[in-house]
Chains A and B, each alone.
Chain A
Amino acid sequence: MFWDKDIETIDRPSLEKLQFEKLRKSLSAAASTSFYQKMFDEHNININNIKTLEHLQDLPFTTKQDLRVSYPDGMVPVSRSQIVRMHASSGTTGKSTVIFYTQKDIDDWADLVARCMVATGTHRDDVFQNMMGYGLFTGGLGLHYGAERLGCMVIPASSGNTLKQIQLMQDFETTVIHITPSYALHLVEVINEQGIDPHQMLVSKAYLGAEPYSEETRLKIENQFGIDAYNSYGMSEMNGPGVAFECTYKNGMHLWEDFYIIEIINPDTGEVLAPGEEGELVLTHINREAMPIIRYRTRDLTRIIPDQCECGRTHYRIDRIKGRTDDMLIVSGVNVFPSQIETVLMSFPEVGNNYQIVLEREDNLDRMHVKVELYSKMFHGEIKELEQLKARLRESLRALITINPRIELMEPGSLPPSMGKAKRVFDNRSI
């Protein structure tokens, strides 16, 4: 089953021709933005010299930091009146990375997501329960619009409230769910606790995204639920979910090359690697009016699977994400950088300079423990005061990472000092 068979099965030479045409359009749009104008000037780049797809390699990379620098609209070539939507990447405070969309961008994105869903065998008669958060995060609305485009009945349940989720699944005969892998494991546990046999439920598919997880976790979810689970890849910088998706063969995610140009680079040298070699995924968005992004460093480690998939789709697949080239943490689906946590902690005069972040998975849910040292001079001998400090720390961090961290107050000097290469993050989750 295909959503757009001609484009999904396009032969390689035609695909590359199409990519190049779209790249030229995106480059000239990008060149009209203040950010890229400056970047191209600084690197003496004339986009008219980009005459083949390979010439893309002559252009500099765009990073997340660049998105912050160009905040809010330094990368937007269209007028404000053409923009119909914005999203912002999760887990950032202050200057977040904001992505804009025109109506055409939203429509195209919905089509792309519909394409992903059809590749897994979903059709208009399915009932789709979306358990991803709605809002600035792209995970909720991205799949929502795609499923509607396909013609499914959509239950916009959003995340959390597990008993309500189960009731909705039963009352409306949900067949497809969109969920984080950790929440899927929690959900199936609660279903069992309720005395319901998950294998008797009508749900037959889960789209798993927003968090890294292992093949073992996928199999666990599939077996416990009696469903097929599909891997989904996306990020707000590239629209959101729908960038790459597994087909029914579940052997890598088709990355839609009529929307994105894929490069895999050596993260240290920036050198482009041959298909099949493992490195950092770099994507150029060639199908977005409101925000063309050139050679975006995703920081995700993967490889291209160059051989053709049995499903007949010709677009390259990427392998399961192996890790990150930066220190970004994904906690309950939210992207968190340790530096953000540090910024929050250091804004409290009561805590010392040293801290540790410990991540655990308890009952299939992510838990974050933050250990901070008490600053001696701010100690007044009152438990009340210390408990209030813990509550204020917890609340400030919760606002950042959306889950409640457990704060542990430590004695001054009990944590390794910040000088040198102190290990600050201990990720004990087995995914």
Chain B
Amino acid sequence: MPYQVSVFAENKPGKIERITSVLNENEINIRAITIADSGDYGIIKLLLDRPEEGCDLLKEKGIAATLKEIVAVKIEDKPGGLYHVASLLRENNINVDDAYGFMVKSHEESVFVFQVDNIQGAEKILKDAGFSTLRDKELYLL
């Protein structure tokens, strides 16, 4: 099961620097980053090549960080790529809590990452429909 690292951060200058410096010192690579903002604070979501280790290192520095299970599905990097996944999720009445995407190879392959309540259920539906979801190692080493 793949994980992202979710980090609590006050909405103040220097917060991303503090987090990324820990990752930099330990040569942990960030594959994707997104921030959910809620006024005076936000949650920074990081897709790391070594998420467990990254999360522990952040916690050691007193940062509120947690591992969060996600679904990562490969989609084609072309118009309509995400539409097919979105339709499938809608047909099965699956609500996406939070999502982001990133490109792996231009015009070939992208990855759509999202949070849902029922991860196994969502993965099965995607697999049954012919999409390939990424296992943790596959995702981290992309």
Contacts and interface: CB of A to CB of B under 8 A. Distances in A.
Interface in B52-95: 59, 62-66, 68
Interface in A354-392: 374, 376, 379-383, 386-387
A383 B9 contact: no
Interface centre among A383, A386, A410 (most CB of B within 10 A): A383
B109 interface: no
A383 B43 contact: yes
Interface in A376-415: 376, 379-383, 386-387, 408-414
B59 A386 contact: no
Contact of A412 (B36, B38, B43, B62): B62
Contacts of B59: 376
A386 B41 CA distance: 10
Interface string A240-269: 000000000000000000000000000000
Interface residues of A, number: 16
Nearest to B44: A381
B6 interface: yes
Question: What DSSP secondary structure best describes chain B's contact surface?
Answer: strand
A411 B63 contact: yes
A374 to B, nearest CB: 5
Contacts, number: 47
Contacts of A381: 6, 43, 45, 66, 68
B66 A409 contact: no
B68 A414 contact: no
Interface in B1-56: 6, 8-10, 36, 38, 40-41, 43, 45
Given A379-B64, A381-B43, A412-B62, A374 B8 contact: yes
Contact of B64 (A383, A387, A408, A411): A411
B16 to A, nearest CB: 13
Interface of B: 6, 8-10, 36, 38, 40-41, 43, 45, 59, 62-66, 68, 97
7 contacts: A374-B64, A376-B59, A379-B64, A381-B66, A382-B43, A383-B36, A386-B8
Across the A-B interface, give the 6 residue pairs with the lowest CB-CB distance, nearest first. Answer: A381-B6, A379-B64, A376-B64, A381-B68, A413-B62, A381-B66
Given A383-B43, A386-B38, 16 more contacts: A374-B8, A376-B59, A379-B65, A381-B66, A382-B43, A382-B97, A383-B38, A386-B8, A409-B8, A409-B10, A409-B40, A409-B41, A410-B10, A411-B64, A412-B62, A412-B63
